[in-house]
Structure 1
Amino acid sequence: MIINMSQTKSILYGAFFLMLTLFNVNTIQAQEKNNDKINYVVLTKKIPQLQPILLAAEALKAEDGAAFGDFQVIVCGKEIGDITAPEKVTKFLNRADELGVQIIACGFSLNKFKVDRAAVPKDMKIVENGILHNLQLQKKGYISITL
């Protein structure tokens, strides 16, 4: 089988185009995950754990400087009802607000443990499935830990 110069050029151009396409797809995926900010998500089941979580957020904010991005804390599990007790949660919500940390309630847990959504503090966002939300954030490159 003899390949002429025209066929050789076509093969080389095709290979070059394929490599360029693959490189661009990888670059786009890397850009989606690396947006020059370091983002964090913590999944917790106990309100008292908010104290060390917020201390960690404060330390990371100081350490990361301008690279500190989003910090979300998802509360889920059987003790989710504690978020409706102002004496247990208000000081943490205030501190989170000062730090730019978002505390989120898991809607699945609210439903399962029959917690009235109207009793959830207005400062807290509710997501329908806290575990799914955590995984979606991890896919976006968030650093994650579950307590």
Structure 2
Amino acid sequence: MKTYIFSSIFLMLTLFSTANLQAQQMDNDKNNYVVLTKKVPQLQPIILTAEALKTEEGDAYGDFQVIICGQGIGDITNAEKMGDFIKRAEKAGVQLVACGFSLDKFKVNKTRVPKEMKIVENGILYNFQLQKKGYRSLSL
């Protein structure tokens, strides 16, 4: 099952990486990625993908951000669920981002968000802003 999920994400990233959208400011020296997810357990295959891309791309590997939005956002305050993900994300150069709009909507205490995570006001808007900068994007 893990292999299937990892392969699917990797295939999607590969397919979307060839799309050249107009009005983007591409940094051709580095490959930057953003993934929007609604479920904390999806961090497992996403981080596996980031690790594989970092190894494969070497110096061409740039920034990799994962934005967590939606009803499952409360799971990020669970240290037991997030501990390993945070360590692996840091090692792989992955920035974990929490959607402030989702935190507010689902009444999640922002002070309980792990300090290693960045909080943005609107995760969907932030995703679009990164896409404008040339990030390759995937939503799960």
Q: Which TM-score bucket, shorter chain as reference?
A: 0.7 to 0.9
Number of matched residues?
119
Measure how far apart 1:30 and its partner are. 8.4
Q: Which has the higher contact order (CA 8 A, sep 6+)?
A: 2
**Gaps (5+ residues) in structure 2?**
1-21
Question: Separation in 2 of the partners of 1:31 and 1:114?
Answer: 35
Counterpart pick for 1:102 among 95, 102, 105: 95
The structure with the largest helix share of the pair is 1
Match in the other structure for 1:52: 45
Q: State the identity as a percent.
A: 69
Do residues 42 (structure 1) and 35 (structure 2) align? yes
Would you say the 8 A contact 2:33–2:63 is kept in 1?
yes
Counterpart pick for 1:83 among 72, 76, 97: 76
Note closer, same or farther for the CA distance 1:129–1:31 as it changes in structure 2 (3 Å cut). closer
TM-score by length of 1: 0.78
TM-score by length of 2: 0.82
3-state SS of the aligned residue for 1:33? coil
1:65 is matched by which residue type in structure 2?
G
Write the mapping of 1:22-37 to structure 2, written as runs, cut at 5 A.
32-37=25-30
C-alpha deviations, 1:94-132, integer Å up to 9, x for none? 100111110000000000000000000010010000000
Note closer, same or farther for the CA distance 1:128–1:31 as it changes in structure 2 (3 Å cut). closer
